[in-house]
Each structure stands twice: as C-alpha cells, then as structure tokens.
Structure 1
Amino acid sequence: MKLFFKDLFMIIVGCLSYALALTLLAIPNHLAEGGVPGAAVILHYAFGWSPGIVTFILTSIIMAIGYKYLPKRAILFSILTTPLISFFIYSTEDLVTSLGDPLTSAIFAGVFIGLGSGLIFRTGSTMGGNEFNSENVS
C-alpha cells in the first residue's frame, strides 16, 4: 500500500511538471511537443482549440484501444494519468506568458517535460500514447 501512494504521488508530480512545462514554456513560445499533447498543441495553433480538452479526447480513444493489450496495473495508473495531465494542461493553459527567449524556453521545457515523463513512466504508467515498453507486457 505504501508503494501505491508513492507511485500516486510520483504520477501527480509528473503530470503537473509535464503540463506546466507544456503550457508555460512550450505553447507561449510556439514550440512543438511530441505525441498526443504535441498534436493538441498543433490543433491549438491552427484552430484555437483547448490543448487540455483535445489531449483528453485523443488519449481516451487511445487508452480504450490499448485496454486490451496493457497489463492491468498500467491501465489503472494510466486511467489516472490521462485525465490528470489533461486537467493540469486545461487549468494552466490561460497562464501563457513567454519568457522571451525561445532557446531558454526550449531547454527548460525539455527538462521539465522529461522530468514529468520520467516520473510517470517510473511508476509503470503511460500518458495514453505508445510509451509503454512492450517487454513489460505480461
């Protein structure tokens, strides 16, 4: 049970780090991100759609497809991770102010997105995309 709460804490901190880096560093400087959040950012640039809502919709579809193939623990944590990332992106997307230097923003965005992703992946969770290591499928 102690391990579960530790993993839960790591997921929450990882999701917050990822979302803040995306909304405070990447989006205001017109930087791209990979995966589903990157597609959501591109749709935000093109149509003005909310990256948080688009991320939630797309990752929910992918999670529904992946339910059959992923281990139950990964599904459980991913069901938590997917809405958390989307919620944090949605709740912080209006705080957009550029740091002024795109290179500095890109470096810090990479660090904090990597930190958030690492914390999430360390628990065995996914962010709704294809990040899961196929060697761990049981």
Structure 2
Amino acid sequence: MTKQIFFREVKSYLILTFALCVATLGWSAFIIPSGIVGGGITGLASTFHFLWGWDVGVVSLSINSILVLLAIKLLGFSFGVKSVYCITVFGILLSVLTNYFPKPVTEDSFMATIIGATLAGTGAGMIFVNGGSTGGTDIIAMIINKYKNISIGRLLLLCDIFIISTGYIVFHNIEIVMYGLITMAIFGYSVDMVITGNKQTVQLFIISKKYKEISDYIVKNTEKGCTILDGIGAYSGDENKVLMVISKKKTSSILFRIIRDIDPAAFVTMSSVSGVYGKGFDQIKV
C-alpha cells in the first residue's frame, strides 16, 4: 500500500468517525430522550428501550449483526470493512451517548425532532458518501424483495412506517407517531442534500439558429464543454443543431444569461442529472 492510499484511507476513516459522532448525537441527544420513535433499526431499538429499558446501542448492534449474517447467507452480500466498522462504532456510540444524555438538550419536542433528524441525516449522508453503511432496514427490504415481488423502495417505506407506528403502542399518543414521520422525512431530505449538495448537476439542451455563437462563447468563457448534436424537427422536417451542456446547478444561471443575450428566441430544456462521471466531474465508481 502506497503512502497516498494509506493517508487517503486514514482520512476516510476519520471522516466516517466524525460522521458517526454527528449521527449518534442527533439520535442520543435529541430524538431518543424526547421519546420519539424514528425509522430504521435505531428507531426499533428505541422502542425496545422505551418498553423495557434495553440499551439502544446494544440492541441496534445486535439486530444489525444478525441482519448482516442473514444478508451474507441469503443474498451473498460482501460487506466491506467500512460497513462493519460503522455498524460497530455506531452501536458503541449510541450505547455511550444515550446514557450521557438522559434528558433531551431541548425540551421542545418539535425542535428536538428537527435538530435531531437533521444531525442524524447529515451524519448518515456523510457515511454513505465515504463508502460506509450502518446497516438497517435496507437489508430487511432486500431479503423480502428476493422472495416477494415488491419494490425495495416501497418495502423500506413500509418498514419505517411500521417501526414509527410502534411509538403509539408505547405512548398511546398520536403526536409521537407524527413526530416520528417528520423525523423520517427530514432524515431522508438531509441525506439527499449531503449526497447531492453542491454536486447537483443539470443537463441543458439548447436549440438555436445561433448555436455556433452560443457554443463558442460557452467554451471560451465558462470553462465548460459543449456538444453539438444533429436534430430534425418532427413536425417541420427542418434540420437543427442541438447543443448539449452539462453544468453544476449553481452555475446554470450563467448559461441562461449567455443564451438570452445571444439568442432570446432559443429553445432550452434543463433537467437534473443523477450523476456525471468523467473529466471535470466525478470519477467512475462501481
């Protein structure tokens, strides 16, 4: 292993550890001590904690360990070292910090929901970005999907809703269930924001008689590439040139300004792109 790879791995594990601390803080300092049952295995472990006083970290680690073994046996998963590291450290941190925060940092349940879910989601997003995983209901969903023709997305949603609904069994309070659903929504949104963040990319198709002027200006002044495609109007039969440009979403307004200044009559479509790989963007990943 070269020094460069070694230091890259060390940096990755440091980021993972920080992310695990952030995620655990959200659960142990805000969500759990406020009596809120969130989604996922941590939410299920919270239910057992509220019912019988079981240690959240120990229960979470135990359930995830069983799920990992089941996944390896039934699905042939090969869990990486980072995932095993994250599952283990997350369980230990949950066990330590839930005892350190017997009461929530804020007495306002709604604020605890927002802050806790944001921290938990942000930490989880950082973990995913750096190649880790904390296990969870996604394993259950994949196992069920193998034997039943139900989409994984729907199974994940059903698992989380079922776990959150157990909050009503514990507290007999519909507000707790609503707080749990809000937690799930904010958690998912935070994860998406961390994963996409400033990397959100858009794809523009530009149809204009002045395509050459637009493409030349984009290439020379914006440090962006531009591809010229041949197009034929289905109704008119006219041949047109179509420009395709890939851009970060935050800089797309510059492109619109250029197009408007050169050809206000240009026809433009813009759509979000889930991933762009190659020179100037992300490296191709498997």
TM-score computed with the length of structure 1 as normaliser:
0.86
1:124 alignment partner, one of 121, 131, 139:
131
* Matched residue, 2:108: 101
For 1:63 and 1:3, how far apart are their aligned partners in 2?
27
Alignment of 1:83-102 (within 5 A): 83-94=88-99, 95-98=101-104, 99-102=106-109
- For residue 79 of structure 1, what is the amino acid of its counterpart? V
- Aligned residue pairs, count: 130
* Matched residue, 2:121: 114
Q: Which has the higher strand share?
A: 2
Residue 77 of structure 2 is aligned to residue 69 of structure 1 = yes
Question: Once the 2 structures are TM-superposed, how far is the Cα of residue 2 of structure 1 from its aligned partner?
Answer: 2.5
Q: Flag structure 1 segments of 5+ consecutive residues without an equivalent.
A: none
* Matched residue, 1:29: 34
Question: Once the 2 structures are TM-superposed, how far is the Cα of residue 3 of structure 1 from its aligned partner?
Answer: 2.2
Say if 1:27 and 1:96, in contact at 8 Å, map to a contact too. Answer: no
Rg comparison, structure with higher value: 2
Residue 49 of structure 2 is aligned to residue 44 of structure 1 = yes
- For residue 77 of structure 2, what is the amino acid of its counterpart? Y
Q: Which has the higher contact order (CA 8 A, sep 6+)?
A: 1
Q: Percent identity?
A: 20
Question: Once the 2 structures are TM-superposed, how far is the Cα of residue 126 of structure 1 from its aligned partner?
Answer: 1.1
- For residue 46 of structure 1, what is the amino acid of its counterpart? L
TM-score computed with the length of structure 2 as normaliser:
0.43
- Runs of 4+ more than 6 Å apart: none
Residue 24 of structure 2 is aligned to residue 19 of structure 1 = yes
Question: Once the 2 structures are TM-superposed, how far is the Cα of residue 96 of structure 1 from its aligned partner?
Answer: 2.1
Query: Counterpart of 1:39 in 2: which secondary structure?
Result: helix
Q: Which has the higher helix share?
A: 1
Residue 46 of structure 2 is aligned to residue 53 of structure 1 = no
- For residue 64 of structure 2, what is the amino acid of its counterpart? T
